[in-house]
Structure formats: C-alpha cells, structure tokens
Amino acid sequence: QVQLVESGGDSVQAGGSLRLSCAASGAISSSYCMGWFRQAPGKQREGVAQIVRGSSTTFHVDSVKGRFTISQDIAKNTVYLQMNSLKPEDTAMYYCAAEEMIAWACYSGSQTPTKYWGQGTQVTVSS
C-alpha cells in the first residue's frame, strides 16, 4: 500500500507562484511513476506532470510546459510541483498519484499513474 498526502494549495493572483508537495509513504520503490493531476469544476481530471521515482526524467503536458516543473526529494519521499506564471485556467483541485510501471511509459507520458491517489489540494488563481 502507498499513501499520498498533498499540501501547498492556496489562492493566488494571476502571475503568481505556488509549490505543491506530495508526501509519500508505504511500499514505494524506484519502479514507481509519480504524477500530478488536476480537476477543474465540471471538467475531467487531466494529467499535468510525471516523474520516475529516483530519476530526474520528467514529463509535462503542453499546457504547463515552461511554467510548471515536477521534481522530487527521495530522502524526504516527497514530490513537488512548482507552478509559476499561474493563470485563472489553472484553478483546480490538484492530486498526486502513484503507480508502478516501466520507466519509459512514465517519462514519455504514454501511461499515467492511477493506482494510488492523495486527497487533493485546492489551487485557485484569480485574475
């Protein structure tokens, strides 16, 4: 079992920055893909960024490239999402997820982690 706890969500103005954290615990190994997703009201949940645990190789969707960066601190078992130049359309509940998978499937974005989920943290961006 893997437990994920997100934090760092807040209300900010457009152009601002936030850093989300996802603290992981349990039986999580280097074969895990860690990802950030978001879901805005009335919309489907969408993947934002992914990282292979223990690696610096990452995947970001086009809509956040150049603004968001996923990273991790293995010693702290924590994955981060640094969000800069925030826009009102970034407003959503942000979720952390994890799943064991082949590394290339994670960093290519061809597969998304969906087995374990956190409870989410709210990000609100005002114009």
pLDDT digits (tens, 9 = 90+) for 51-96: 999 898 999 999 999 999 999 999 999 999 999 999 999 999 999 9
Q: Does pLDDT of 50 surpass 90?
A: yes
Question: What pLDDT is attached to residue 29?
Answer: 87
| Residue at token pair 């999402």 | 81
Which residues are within 8 A (CB) of 18 and not within 5 positions of it... i.e. 6 or more apart?
8, 9, 10, 12, 83, 86, 123
Q: Looking at residues 1-17, what average pLDDT do you find? A: 97
Question: What pLDDT is attached to residue 54?
Answer: 86
Residue 27 banded pLDDT, cuts 50, 70, 90:
confident
The average confidence (pLDDT) of the chain is 96
**Cβ–Cβ < 8 Å for 90, 75:** no
Question: What pLDDT is attached to residue 117?
Answer: 98
Question: What pLDDT is attached to residue 13?
Answer: 98
**Hey, what are 73's tokens?**
């601190």
- Cα 9 to Cα 123: distance, rounded to the nearest angstrom: 5
